[in-house]
């Protein structure tokens, strides 16, 4: 099976306004914004789940929260304090390997819809959404033919 547009999109909202965030999603023809935070709350109210879903309601972009793909609070606090990203990714990837049903459902959704994985972190390289995106590429069975697109 083939992903709809042969890309896995990701986005972090850190440092963005809700207007520019939605504009980026629209410009990239995103069908579904997939929130992969464990807890979909933000100090920036526009990015808490209910408010974000309300903002998206006026667009053609659906909102989907998949808390099972979030990183645990303990793991997030640890990496914030010690910046040990090797440990963070090792532990998160271990956890992610237990989420094959959720990943399969997400991959199947991406076959017909253009999805974008969302978290707060602006730097894709130090965010758990990188691991989720890479797992989706593995599910495709053709890692080399699909690309990751960080917005």
The domain limits of the chain are 7-141
Residue 3 has pLDDT above 80, yes or no: no
Q: What is the pLDDT of residues 117-128, one digit of tens each?
A: 999 999 999 999
Q: Provide DSSP, 65-127.
A: E-GGGSPPHHHHHHHHHH--HHHHHHHHHHHHTT-HHHHHHHHHHHHHS-EEEEES-S-GGGS
132 in helix, strand or coil?
helix
What would the CATH number be for the domain defined by 7-141? Answer: 3.90.190
Q: What is the pLDDT of residue 66?
A: 97
What are phi and psi for residue 16, nearest 5 degrees? -115, 150
pLDDT bin (cut points 50, 70, 90) of residue 58 is confident
Q: What is the pLDDT of residues 88-123, one digit of tens each?
A: 999 999 999 999 999 999 988 888 889 999 999 999
Q: How far apart are CA 47 and CA 10, in angstroms?
A: 15
Taking the C-alpha atoms of 149, 96, 38 and 128 in order, what is their torsion angle to the nearest 10 degrees?
A: -40
């Amino acid at each position: 099976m083939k992903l709809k547009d042969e890309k896995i999109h990701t986005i972090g909202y850190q440092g963005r306004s809700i207007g520019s965030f939605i504009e980026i999603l629209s410009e990239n023809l995103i069908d579904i914004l997939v929130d992969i935070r464990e807890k979909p709350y933000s100090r920036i109210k526009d990015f808490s789940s209910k408010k974000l879903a309300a903002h998206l309601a006026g667009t053609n972009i659906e909102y989907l929260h998949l808390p099972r793909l979030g990183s645990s609070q303990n793991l997030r606090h640890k990496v914030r304090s010690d910046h040990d990203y090797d440990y963070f990714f090792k532990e998160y990837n271990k956890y992610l390997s237990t989420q094959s049903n959720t990943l399969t459902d997400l991959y199947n959704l991406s076959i017909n819809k253009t999805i974008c994985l969302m978290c707060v972190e602006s730097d894709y390289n130090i965010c758990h959404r990188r691991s989720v995106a890479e797992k989706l590429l593995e599910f495709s069975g053709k890692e080399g033919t699909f690309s990751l697109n960080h917005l």
